[in-house]
Structure 1
Amino acid sequence: MSVGPGLLIAAPRSGSGKTTIVLGLQRALARRGLRVRGMKCGPDYIDPAFHAAATGAPSFNLDSFAMSRPLLQALASEAAGDATLVIAEGSMGLFDGIRQETGRTGASADIAALFGWPVILVLDVSGHAQSAAAVALGCARFDPRIDVAGVVLNKVASERHRRLVEDGMTRIGLPVLGALMRNTELTLPERHLGLVQAGETDELDARLERLADAVEGALDIDRLMALSRPTRLETAGNAQSLPPPGQRIALASDQAFSFVYPHVLMGWRTAGAEIVPFSPLADEPPPSDCDVCWLPGGYPELHAGRIAGAQNFLEGLRAFSESRPVHGECGGYMVLGRSLEDAEGYAHPMAGLLPVETSYAKRRMHLGYRVAHLLGDSAMGQAGRRLVGHEFHYASVTQSDTSREAAFARIADAEGNDLGFAGHRRGLVTGSFFHAIAQG
């Protein structure tokens, strides 16, 4: 079976400009009155929020390693079911992933192959001309499962430069669908985990309109749309990635706590759970009529002083935890600990519910897929449950209880290498740097 058509916008490497192209294209089509849906390959919280702002509709992640085939099918079906066009965005380079069996590497190419979406390759052509065609040809021939249908040139220096690059593309038979000149005004602001969040980006709507104007003027959008193909589905899948941790879920939600996957929220709601947002930065406690509290990741390290001063929130959280489960992911885990050291080296007191102290001043990047086995019953499920997710943070643990009895889970990387114990559990409170994507 097949549903609405789609395309995958990808690149040979990170930093090529695919997010700029994707957002401009999504907004340009949405303002034509078309039903556009965004999707993002791999684990990423920030880009889907920009997709939603550009299109006015939720954007789901698609992850060939962390998600089962039925879950992937369900998410693609929901997005493409009534869409004029699905515009999916790749992550990193088109073939970048982990060493796993074909189709389960986490690479964007897996998603294009699974759903039959043609690939539009964004090429940063700064620093070369005809040689860009050799890069494009390598991408087109590397994986026989996918079809690279055309290219978009980015960071073109001049009309002469463009003609030279197009000469190379003509020689390999790949159509050039457009070219954007080098323009720093189209760049979105960034910070340590990627783009500044959509909700924090100044004049976001105006920025999206400028991106749409640039894409409208530089790309042959009608020709690009004509290259799309129906989304190929095998079966109707199950969209529940994680069982809801409760019936009424108090969800911390503001600029410090924003990293929640849309597919997880949809799965909870589909299962009948109600999600009740509250804002720690506004000094709001978890609503007392909820039966579980969830502190997602985000940027608490940028708001540590304000969180430390939010006594209604902290006292309400401690009172809530005496009788009901509380779970924190990544940034939420840091807030559940004893202290959080900011970039200037000042340690702010946190909730003190878990035996851990963290620091953003002592930075080291932690990045990669994780497979977790729960060591005890918690809001995340019963002991022994297998969860698949990832870590992406710069904060470090400076002090913690490292015993098995205090640990939340045992984790391994994507290749099965044991990484030891992760996170903490104390009473009804649990947390770790692990972001859950789906049940294993």
Structure 2
Amino acid sequence: MKGFVLGGTSSGVGKTVAALAVTRALQNDGRAVQPAKAGPDFIDPSHHQQVAGRPSRTLDCWLEGREGLRRNYYRGEGDVCVVEGVMGLYDGDGSSTAMVAEALDLPVVLVADASAGMESVAATALGFREYAERAGRDVEVAGVLAQRAHGGRHAEGIREALPDDLTYFGRIAPNSDLEIPDRHLGLELGEERPLSDDALDAAAENVRTGRLLTVAREPPRPTETTEDIGTDRERTDTRIAVPRDAAFRFCYPATMERLRARADVTTFSPVAGDDLPDCDGVYLPGGYPELHAADLAESPALTTLADRASEGLPVLGECGGLMALCESLTTTDGETYEMAAVLPADVEMRDRYQALDHVELRAREGTLTAIGGDRLRGHEFHYSSADPATDARYAFDVERGDGIDGDRDGLTEYRTLGTYCHVHPESGAFDAFIDQL
């Protein structure tokens, strides 16, 4: 499957809208699009899926490594892959858009804000291309997609200013209907605020799909022979329960694929009042438990989860899952709600983010996702802070990132583990979890 990367000149330049417009344009041209997102984000991919009709692949060198990144790419399906970048093209030391483009050997289409420029857009693109050459980066900036550009003289001025070896891939006209509201943790999710078909069609109208397909190319295949999820690991007879609702939204598609490849997976909704299903283990992904704290406090699932956890049921919670496993959750309006009370900590929401970084953890001893001394790479982004009991036990020392208290992460009790760190299945953490069920 051929592909290309939409890299921004900076954060906030409109990469997500550009990715959606390009996806729609390719669909209108009869192409099946596989969306992907550079970086560990959960929110932008929800908009990709809303438009493309298939889950967006997460591509992050830190979380997956180059080979894992390539394996994840090739698990996608479609005629062409549209990879939305993260931040500015070269920004980020753990896994920048440029690093993803290099690992996959994909060309970069530079998304530039043209709302107040013409020749300057061309100069910016030229600078981004020459920076790669001077810095010794193996990044091909193929040309420009002009964001927030009017037609007529405005678009023509941008096109004429570009040198012959930088392609003009079209423009996206300014349109207030293309604005996606945001909140803490980023944009609102795709299913909450989908863009209208009319707005998307209008945005796609001036995208040059033929030129995009001409520059798209196929990345190198992984050097390892095993490319299909789970074929290198034994399938088990175990059953894993995973909440999937408005409170527990943040789960990589590859994670569910890996879990389903190795075990039976049953989903349920604590927010809707579902009880915990019969299972051999529980995975609680991240999300927005703070927005549904009242419903969670009344849910029979948390009571059953507490009982089963005390009996030794393996439970893994990430970020929002960690919050639900703690004793209480206090929202920004000062309301406090009882949670599952499996882990000895109280959680409180803050007005600004408490951590945002790629993370590396080192296991102190054997735990649900690692053996002693193992290192796990992941990502953290949260607005809450946890106040653990003085005798709380931790599974990990933090080598990079913030964790729960700046030095440690992974509160553990019984066979329950809760971390602020989100990991990708390429880390091996979920295989380790399944192997212990």
Same fold (TM over 0.5): yes
How far the C-alpha of 1:426 sits from its partner, in A, is 0.9
Q: Does 2:22 correspond to 1:25?
A: yes
What does residue range 113-192 of structure 1 map to in structure 2 within 5 Å? 113-144=102-133, 145-156=138-149, 159-170=152-163, 173-192=165-184
Contact 1:16–1:154 at 8 Å: present in 2 too?
yes
Contact 1:341 1:360 in 2 (8 A): yes
1:274 aligned partner? 264
Picking from 62, 67, 72, the partner of 1:70 is 67
Closer/same/farther in 2, CA of residues 259 and 180 from structure 1, 3 Å limit: same
The answer to whether residue 87 in structure 2 is matched with residue 92 in structure 1 is yes
Looking at structure 2, the residues matched to 427 and 124 of structure 1 have their Cα atoms a distance apart, in angstroms, of: 52
Residue in 1 aligned with 2:304? Answer: 316
Are the structure 2 counterparts of residues 401 and 362 from structure 1 closer, same or farther at C-alpha, using a change threshold of 3 Å? Answer: farther
**2:432 paired residue number:** none
Q: 2:24, 2:204 within 8 Å by CA — same for their partners in 1?
A: no
Equivalents in 1 of 2:236, 2:411: separation in Å? 17
Instruction: Give the Cα–Cα distance (whole angstroms) in 2 for the partners of residues 123 and 365 of structure 1.
Output: 30
Provide the TM-score with structure 2 as the length reference. 0.88
- Residue of structure 2 aligned with 1:227, choices 212, 215, 224: 215
In structure 2, distance between residues paired with 1:137 and 1:31: 30
Q: What is aligned with 2:435?
A: none
Instruction: Give secondary structure in 2 for the equivalent of 1:200.
Output: coil
Q: 2:277: which partner in 1?
A: 287
Which secondary structure state, in structure 1, belongs to the residue aligned with residue 218 of structure 2? Answer: strand
1:285 Cα shift?
A: 2.1
- The equivalent residue for 1:353 is 342
Structure 1 unaligned regions, length at least 5: 99-104
Q: Tell me, in whole angstroms, the C-alpha distance in 2 between the residues paired with 1:34 and 1:130.
A: 32
**Would the aligned equivalents of 1:367 and 1:392 in 2 still touch at CA under 8 Å?**
yes
Residue in structure 1 matching 2:254, options 237, 256, 263: 263
* Deviates further, 378-387 or 430-439: 378-387
- Equivalent residue for 2:384, pick from 385, 395, 415: 395
1:30-41 to 2 correspondence within 5 Å?
30-41=27-38
Change (3 A) 1:286 1:384: farther
* Distance of 2:421 and 2:401 partners within structure 1: 13
TM superposition shift of 1:336: 0.8
Q: Deviations over 1:47-75 (max 9, x none)?
A: 22222222222221111122123312211
* Alignment match of 2:326 (pick from 329, 332, 337): 337
Deviation for aligned residue 1:127: 3.3
Give a deviation string over 1:277-321, Cα, whole Å, max 9, x none.
Answer: 111101212212x100111100111111221122x1221111221
Shift of 1:263: 1.4
- Residue 179 of structure 1 and its aligned partner are, at CA, apart by 1.7
Please give the alpha-carbon distance, in whole angstroms, between the structure 1 residues aligned to 2:111 and 2:206.
13
2:45 aligned to 3, 25, 48, which one? 48
Give yes or no for contact 2:40–2:60 (8 Å, CA) kept in 1.
yes
Runs of at least 4 residues off by over 6 Å: 241-246
* Alignment of 1:382 onto 2:371: yes
From 80, 95, 108, the counterpart of 2:97: 108
Distance 1:212 1:159, change over 3 A: same
**Counterpart in the other structure of 1:253:** 244
> When the two structures are aligned, how many residues end up with a matched partner?
417
Structure 2 unaligned spans of 5+: 429-437
Number of the residue aligned with 1:433: 420
Distance, in Å, in 2 between the alignment partners of 1:65 and 1:390 is 9
Check the 8 A contact 1:410/1:422 in 2, yes or no. yes
Q: Are residues 74 and 208 of structure 1, via their aligned partners in 2, closer, same or farther at CA, if it must alter by over 3 Å?
A: farther
Note the C-alpha offset of 1:164. 3.6
SS of equivalent to 1:369: strand
Task: Work out the percentage of aligned pairs sharing the same amino acid.
Answer: 33
**CA apart distance, 1:435:** 0.8
**What CA distance in whole angstroms lies between the structure 1 residues aligned with 2:303 and 2:45?**
33
Q: Residues 395 and 113 from structure 1, CA distance in 2 versus in 1: closer, same or farther, beyond 3 angstroms?
A: same
SS in structure 2 of the partner of residue 22 of structure 1: helix
Query: 1:334-362: per-residue Cα shift (whole Å, max 9, x none)?
Result: 11111111120111111111111111145
How far, CA to CA, are the matches of 2:61 and 2:106 in structure 1?
15
Name the SS for the 1:392 alignment partner: strand
C-alpha deviation, 1:31, in angstroms: 4.8
* Range that drifts further, 211-220 or 349-358: 211-220
Letter in 2 for 1:5: K
In structure 2, what residue type is equivalent to 1:278?
A: F
SS at match of 1:13: coil
Of 155, 173, 197 in structure 2, the residue corresponding to residue 209 of structure 1 is 197
Alignment-derived partner of residue 102 in structure 1: none
Conserved 8 A contact 1:122-1:153: yes
Shift of the 28–267 alpha-carbon distance from structure 1 to 2, 3 Å rule, reads same
Provide the C-alpha distance between the structure 2 equivalents of 1:425 and 1:414, rounded to a whole number of angstroms.
19
Q: Secondary structure at the match of 1:178?
A: strand
CA contact (8 A) 1:123 1:152 kept: yes
SS across alignment from 1:324: coil
Residue 173 of structure 1: CA displacement?
4.5
Q: What TM-score, normalized to structure 1?
A: 0.88
Question: Quick one: structure 1 residues 224 and 363, their matched pair in 2 at CA, closer, same or farther if it must change by over 3 Å?
Answer: closer
Name the aligned partner's letter for residue 145 of structure 2.
V
AA in 2 matched with 1:213: D
Give how far 1:239 is off.
5.8
Checking the alignment, whether the CA contact within 8 Å between 1:341 and 1:358 is kept in structure 2 is yes
Question: Is contact 1:42–1:63 with CA below 8 Å preserved after alignment?
Answer: yes
